[in-house]
Amino acid sequence: MQVIVQLIVRMALENRSWGYTRIQGALANLGHDVSRGTIANVLGEQGMNPTPERGKRTSWSTFLKAHWYCIAATDFFTVEVLTLRGLVTYYILFVLDLASQEVKIAGVTSRLGEVWMMQMVRKLTDAEEPFLRHTRSLIMDRDTKYSAVLRVALTRERIEPIRLLPRSPTLNAYAERFVRSVKTACTGRMVFFSRSSLERALTQYVAHYHEGRNHKGLNNRLLKDSNLPIYRGGQVERRERLGGMLHFYYREAT
């Protein structure tokens, strides 16, 4: 049923002029026998109006629900690094997959520009290790760092740039939440003396974020290794990262 619901919402969004009967016919082509009433109920539950009103307005939450498994979000945050030349601001570009909540630190630089940004696009869409391989839409703000040339490059990779309205951080809430987490648990608690020390800390934090941090949005489960066997009688051990600032508790096999 969940598959059918996703198909109904997808067809309604991608074909704004289709009514219930047209969607019913398209579903029948795929082997799903669904009544018009069921289609109407599904669209109503998703807050979608019947045609032609549907073509006039689609809520942000409806868009996210319809494309959840192929949307990623990107953003920056900054960290001050203490060097012999004084404080240097480093920009950290990251990408977050909404469905899995996995995070990729794309790059760290103190010299932000279009050339560097284009390198990051190539890195994220590279055939050998493409973090954005399943992404069809990439949420970003209207910062000039996401230039027109960069957006064209994403489009060539069949990734649609979704530019948010000005001063609307809540529309990119998942990325904003990650920024708050990494600053609270990592960069806000440390003093960095080089780019390499910053990169090492970020690598350690992302590993903890994926393997040792429970996520409320995933029913308080781990992102990875969520099916780890629990040894009831084993000794409780602690795995440390970042010099003991991050902890993960587990039981050893008996």
Helix spans in the chain (H): 2-14, 20-29, 36-45, 60-66, 114-124, 148-156, 173-185, 195-211
Are the C-beta atoms of 240 and 246 separated by less than 8 Å?
yes
Q: What pLDDT does residue 192 have? A: 97
142 and 73: one domain? Answer: yes
Q: What is the CATH number of the domain that holds 189?
A: 3.30.420.10
36 and 77: one domain? Answer: no
Asked whether residue 217 is assigned to any structural domain, the reply reads: no
Are the C-beta atoms of 165 and 171 separated by less than 8 Å?
yes
Asked whether residue 46 is assigned to any structural domain, the reply reads: yes
45 and 73: one domain? Answer: no
Cα dihedral value 88, 86, 195, 188, nearest 10:
-70
Asked whether residue 197 is assigned to any structural domain, the reply reads: yes
Average pLDDT over residues 76-105: 94
Domain boundary among 31, 58, 85: 58
Q: Is the model's pLDDT at 58 over the cut of 70?
A: no
Q: Can you tell me the distance from the alpha carbon of 79 to that of 105, in angstroms, rounded to the nearest whole number?
A: 14
Q: Is the model's pLDDT at 206 over the cut of 90?
A: yes
Q: Is the model's pLDDT at 217 over the cut of 90?
A: no
Which residues lie closer than 8 Å to 163 by C-beta, 6 or more apart? 140, 141, 142, 146, 151
Are the C-beta atoms of 110 and 88 separated by less than 8 Å?
yes
* Whole-angstrom Cα Rg for the chain: 22
50 and 105: one domain? Answer: no
Asked whether residue 7 is assigned to any structural domain, the reply reads: yes
Question: What would the pLDDT profile of 108-152 be if each residue is shown by its tens digit?
Answer: 999 999 999 999 999 999 877 789 988 999 999 999 999 999 999
39 and 138: one domain? Answer: no
195 and 88: one domain? Answer: yes
Are the C-beta atoms of 51 and 17 separated by less than 8 Å?
yes
Q: What pLDDT does residue 219 have? A: 78
User: Using 50, 70 and 90 to split pLDDT, how confident is the model at 13?
Assistant: confident
Domain enclosing residue 27, as ranges:
2-58
Residue 89 Cα distances to 93, 102, 156, 240, angstroms: 13, 26, 32, 28
Q: Is the model's pLDDT at 183 over the cut of 90?
A: yes
Q: Is the model's pLDDT at 226 over the cut of 60?
A: no
99 and 200: one domain? Answer: yes
Local structure of 186: helix, strand or coil: coil
User: Using 50, 70 and 90 to split pLDDT, how confident is the model at 1?
Assistant: confident
Any bridge partners for residue 176, and if so which? none
- How does strand 86-97 pair with strand 71-83? antiparallel
Asked whether residue 180 is assigned to any structural domain, the reply reads: yes
Asked whether residue 187 is assigned to any structural domain, the reply reads: yes
User: Using 50, 70 and 90 to split pLDDT, how confident is the model at 56?
Assistant: low
Average pLDDT over residues 34-58: 75
115 and 184: one domain? Answer: yes
149 and 186: one domain? Answer: yes
If one counts the domains in the chain, the total is 2
Report which residue type is found at 161.
P
Q: What pLDDT does residue 105 have? A: 97
92 and 23: one domain? Answer: no
Asked whether residue 43 is assigned to any structural domain, the reply reads: yes
54 and 169: one domain? Answer: no
Q: Can you tell me the distance from the alpha carbon of 137 to that of 162, in angstroms, rounded to the nearest whole number?
A: 6
Asked whether residue 161 is assigned to any structural domain, the reply reads: yes
Q: What pLDDT does residue 228 have? A: 59
Average pLDDT over residues 25-44: 92
Q: What pLDDT does residue 225 have? A: 59
Q: Pick the residue with more confidence: 187 or 232?
A: 187
Q: Which of 146-160, 217-231, 234-248 has the lowest mean pLDDT?
A: 217-231
pTM reported for the whole predicted model: 0.74
Q: Which of 147, 172, 189 is nearest to 64 (CA)?
A: 172
Q: What pLDDT does residue 222 have? A: 86
